Structure 1
Amino acid sequence: MEGDIGQRASWLKTQTELPTATPSGGMSHTSAKPFSDLSSFLQPLRIGIDTLYELSYRLSLTYKKLAASPEHFFPTPITRLPTGLETGRYLAVYVGLSYLRVAFIDLLGDQQRVRRTLEKAWPIEEHLRRDRAPELFTFIGDCIADVVRDSLNNPNEEVPRELTTGISFCFPIRQKCLNEAILMPTGKGFALKTDLNLHQALLDGYERHTWSPGEDEDEQRMPAKRRKLFNLPRLRIAAMTNDTSSTLCSLAYTIHSFPNTRAVMGFIVGAGSNATVPLKIADLHERKVQHIREKDPSAQEALVSTEWTLSSASTPIFELDLRTKWDIELDNHCERPGFQPLELMIGGRYIGELVRLIAFDWFHNVLGIPRSALPVKLVTEHSLSTDFLSLKVASNQSDEGLAVELSQELPQPSMSDWRWTADSSRDLRAITNFVQDRAASLVAAVIVGLLVCAEEIALQPPHNHRDFLTLAASNGNTQTEESTTRWKNGPEELAVAVSGGVMQHFPHYKQKAQRYIDQLLIRAGPQQGGKSIFLRDVNDGGLIGTGILAGTTAGEIGGIIGSTFEA
Structure 2
Amino acid sequence: MGKVGLGLAVGWAAATCAIAAVIVGRRVRRRREWRRVMAVVEELEEACSTPVGRLRQVVDAMAVEMHAGLASEGGSKLKMLITFVDRLPNGSEKDTYYALDLGGTYFRVLRVQLGGDRSGILRHDVERQPIPQHLMTSTSEDLFDFIASSLQEFVQKEEGVSEASTVKKRELGFTFSFPVKQTSVSSGILIKWTKGFAIEDMVGRDVSECLQQAMSKKGLNMRVAALVNDTVGTMALGHYHDKDTVAAVIIGTGTNACYWERADAIIKCQGLLTTSGGMVINMEWGNFWSTHLPRTSYDIELDVDSPNPNDQGFEKMISGMYLGDIVRRVILRMSQEADIFGPVSPKLSEPFILRTPLMAAMHEDNSSDLREVARILNEVLGIPDVPLKVRKLVVKVCDVVTQRAARLAAAGTVGILKKIGRDGRGGVTSGRIKGGSHSKMRRTAVAIEGGLYTSYSMFREYMNEAMTEILGEDISPYVILKITEDGSGIGAALLAATYSSPGVANVQLL
Normalising TM by the smaller chain, what interval? 0.7 to 0.9
Q: 1:246 touches 1:546 (CA, 8 Å); kept in 2? A: yes
* CA distance in structure 2 between the aligned counterparts of 1:548 and 1:112, rounded to whole angstroms: 14
1:511 corresponds to which of 461, 478, 484? 461
* Residue equivalent to 1:283: 265
* CA distance in structure 2 between the aligned counterparts of 1:125 and 1:435, rounded to whole angstroms: 36
TM-aligned CA distance change 1:491 to 1:121, over 3 Å: same
* CA distance in structure 2 between the aligned counterparts of 1:435 and 1:125, rounded to whole angstroms: 36
TM-aligned CA distance change 1:131 to 1:502, over 3 Å: farther
1:422 corresponds to which of 383, 388, 409? 388
Instruction: Check if 1:254 corresponds to 2:241.
Output: yes
One-letter amino acid of the counterpart of residue 305, structure 2: H
Q: Secondary structure at the match of 1:330?
A: helix
1:151 corresponds to which of 149, 152, 158? 158
Instruction: Check if 1:60 corresponds to 2:60.
Output: no
Q: Secondary structure at the match of 2:321?
A: helix
TM-aligned CA distance change 1:116 to 1:323, over 3 Å: farther
* CA distance in structure 2 between the aligned counterparts of 1:251 and 1:303, rounded to whole angstroms: 13
TM-aligned CA distance change 1:129 to 1:451, over 3 Å: farther
* Residue equivalent to 2:496: 550
* CA distance in structure 2 between the aligned counterparts of 1:132 and 1:510, rounded to whole angstroms: 41
One-letter amino acid of the counterpart of residue 493, structure 1: R
* Residue equivalent to 1:308: 285
TM-aligned CA distance change 1:152 to 1:80, over 3 Å: closer
Instruction: Check if 1:196 corresponds to 2:196.
Output: no
Q: 1:137 touches 1:202 (CA, 8 Å); kept in 2? A: yes
* CA distance in structure 2 between the aligned counterparts of 1:139 and 1:46, rounded to whole angstroms: 49
**Structure 1 residue 448: deviation in Å?**
0.9
* CA distance in structure 1 between the aligned counterparts of 2:197 and 2:421, rounded to whole angstroms: 34
TM-aligned CA distance change 1:492 to 1:75, over 3 Å: same
* Residue equivalent to 1:87: 94
Q: 1:106 touches 1:116 (CA, 8 Å); kept in 2? A: yes
Over the matched positions of the two proteins, sequence identity in percent amounts to 23
* Residue equivalent to 1:223: none
* Residue equivalent to 1:21: none
**Structure 1 residue 390: deviation in Å?**
2.9
* CA distance in structure 2 between the aligned counterparts of 1:101 and 1:157, rounded to whole angstroms: 18
One-letter amino acid of the counterpart of residue 401, structure 1: R
Q: What are structure 1's unaligned runs of at least 5 residues?
A: 8-33, 212-232, 257-261, 460-479, 562-567
* CA distance in structure 2 between the aligned counterparts of 1:206 and 1:399, rounded to whole angstroms: 57
> CA RMSD of the aligned region, Å?
3.3
Q: Deviations over 1:37-60 (max 9, x none)?
A: 633343212221111111111221
Higher Rg: 2
Instruction: Check if 1:342 corresponds to 2:314.
Output: yes
One-letter amino acid of the counterpart of residue 454, structure 1: I
1:43 corresponds to which of 43, 46, 52? 46
Moved more, 531-540 or 334-343: 531-540
TM-aligned CA distance change 1:186 to 1:500, over 3 Å: farther
* CA distance in structure 1 between the aligned counterparts of 2:163 and 2:390, rounded to whole angstroms: 64
* Residue equivalent to 2:327: 355
* CA distance in structure 2 between the aligned counterparts of 1:79 and 1:425, rounded to whole angstroms: 51
* CA distance in structure 2 between the aligned counterparts of 1:323 and 1:189, rounded to whole angstroms: 29
One-letter amino acid of the counterpart of residue 41, structure 2: L
Q: 1:327 touches 1:345 (CA, 8 Å); kept in 2? A: yes
* CA distance in structure 2 between the aligned counterparts of 1:558 and 1:330, rounded to whole angstroms: 46
* Residue equivalent to 2:379: 409
Q: Secondary structure at the match of 2:314?
A: helix
Q: Secondary structure at the match of 1:202?
A: helix
Q: 1:152 touches 1:159 (CA, 8 Å); kept in 2? A: no
Q: 1:79 touches 1:301 (CA, 8 Å); kept in 2? A: yes
* CA distance in structure 2 between the aligned counterparts of 1:202 and 1:398, rounded to whole angstroms: 55
* CA distance in structure 2 between the aligned counterparts of 1:201 and 1:338, rounded to whole angstroms: 33
* CA distance in structure 2 between the aligned counterparts of 1:516 and 1:126, rounded to whole angstroms: 42
One-letter amino acid of the counterpart of residue 78, structure 1: V
**Structure 1 residue 526: deviation in Å?**
5.6
* Residue equivalent to 2:172: 165
Q: How does 1:172-191 map to 2 (within 5 A)?
A: 172-185=179-192
Q: 1:393 touches 1:402 (CA, 8 Å); kept in 2? A: no
* CA distance in structure 2 between the aligned counterparts of 1:157 and 1:556, rounded to whole angstroms: 21
Q: How does 1:3-42 map to 2 (within 5 A)?
A: 38-42=41-45
**Structure 1 residue 168: deviation in Å?**
1.3
**Structure 1 residue 510: deviation in Å?**
2.3
Instruction: Check if 1:103 corresponds to 2:103.
Output: no
One-letter amino acid of the counterpart of residue 249, structure 2: F
One-letter amino acid of the counterpart of residue 52, structure 1: L
1:450 corresponds to which of 404, 408, 416? 416
TM-aligned CA distance change 1:248 to 1:270, over 3 Å: same
Q: 1:402 touches 1:422 (CA, 8 Å); kept in 2? A: no
TM-aligned CA distance change 1:130 to 1:511, over 3 Å: farther
TM-score when scaled to structure 1? 0.74
Q: 2:96 touches 2:113 (CA, 8 Å); kept in 1? A: yes
* Residue equivalent to 1:482: 428
TM-aligned CA distance change 1:326 to 1:106, over 3 Å: same
* CA distance in structure 2 between the aligned counterparts of 1:419 and 1:355, rounded to whole angstroms: 19
1:374 corresponds to which of 316, 341, 345? 345
TM-score when scaled to structure 2? 0.81
Q: Deviations over 1:245-280 (max 9, x none)?
A: 111110111123xxxxx1010110112111111111
* CA distance in structure 1 between the aligned counterparts of 2:228 and 2:366, rounded to whole angstroms: 38
* CA distance in structure 2 between the aligned counterparts of 1:458 and 1:57, rounded to whole angstroms: 14
* CA distance in structure 2 between the aligned counterparts of 1:76 and 1:263, rounded to whole angstroms: 17
Q: Secondary structure at the match of 2:409?
A: helix
**Structure 1 residue 102: deviation in Å?**
1.4
**Structure 1 residue 237: deviation in Å?**
0.7
TM-aligned CA distance change 1:505 to 1:97, over 3 Å: farther
Instruction: Check if 1:390 corresponds to 2:365.
Output: no
Q: 1:118 touches 1:147 (CA, 8 Å); kept in 2? A: no
1:539 corresponds to which of 485, 495, 500? 485
Q: Deviations over 1:338-366 (max 9, x none)?
A: 12111111122222222211221122235
* CA distance in structure 2 between the aligned counterparts of 1:158 and 1:185, rounded to whole angstroms: 33
One-letter amino acid of the counterpart of residue 282, structure 1: D
TM-aligned CA distance change 1:121 to 1:92, over 3 Å: same
* Residue equivalent to 1:464: none
**Structure 1 residue 395: deviation in Å?**
4.3
Q: 1:77 touches 1:558 (CA, 8 Å); kept in 2? A: no
Q: Deviations over 1:348-387 (max 9, x none)?
A: 22222222112211222355656x64262x2211212123
TM-aligned CA distance change 1:149 to 1:356, over 3 Å: farther
**Structure 1 residue 496: deviation in Å?**
0.4
Q: How does 1:554-565 map to 2 (within 5 A)?
A: 554-559=500-505
**Structure 1 residue 304: deviation in Å?**
0.3
1:240 corresponds to which of 227, 230, 236? 227
